Amino acid sequence: MNEIHTVVVIVGGGPVVVPPRLYVAQSLVIAADSGVDAALAAGLTPSLVVGDLDSISEQGLAWAHANDVAIEQHPPAKDDTDTALALAIAAAEPGRHLILLAPAGTVRLDHLLGTLAALGDARLAVCASVTAWVGDTVVHVLHPGSAVSLHLAVGTTFSLHALHVPCRGVAL
């Protein structure tokens, strides 16, 4: 992977699955609020914390301060979720490979839907790729003009959903 295509990891709150090769390629970890705690538990070191800081633990916030991690605090009354704010920051530099790590076992359907909806934000179209790991489920997000090739074993279950814009040119 060349230097222009920086891997950006956004960590949401809750236990996350870290893809095996992520440690080799990662260059920037942005933690969305309590994602600091999830990142540290997963062996990742956040470079930035973003959000309204309503769910970060006292220990996570203390760790961020002690390690001089940049904190971008937003007011609780905001239009974007903490994850959406982190995604927008990650997409600020075109050509990045963006990887979102999100917990699988959430009981908050609104959080899961908000996370999936945020992945369709048009600002992410400048990314070289957008992939989410929701627990051990991999989600490839395609914005207009992007593509992905999946090499799956025969019998592998997968789903295809057009969530944000009409979907054309799909070949299976």
In the structure encoding, which two tokens stand for residue 71, read together? 């904190």
Q: How many CB atoms lie within 10 A of CB 135?
A: 15
Residue 114: per-residue pLDDT: 85
Portion of the chain with pLDDT greater than 70, in percent: 92
pLDDT for residue 68 is more than 70: yes
Structure tokens of 132?
């989410």
Handedness of CA 102, 103, 109, 110 (dihedral sign): negative
pTM of the entire predicted model? 0.86
Match 């961020």 to its residue by tokens.
64
Convert the pLDDT of each residue in 57-67 to its tens digit: 999 999 999 99
pLDDT band, residue 4 (cuts 50/70/90): very low
Of all residues in the chain, what percent carry a pLDDT higher than 90? 40
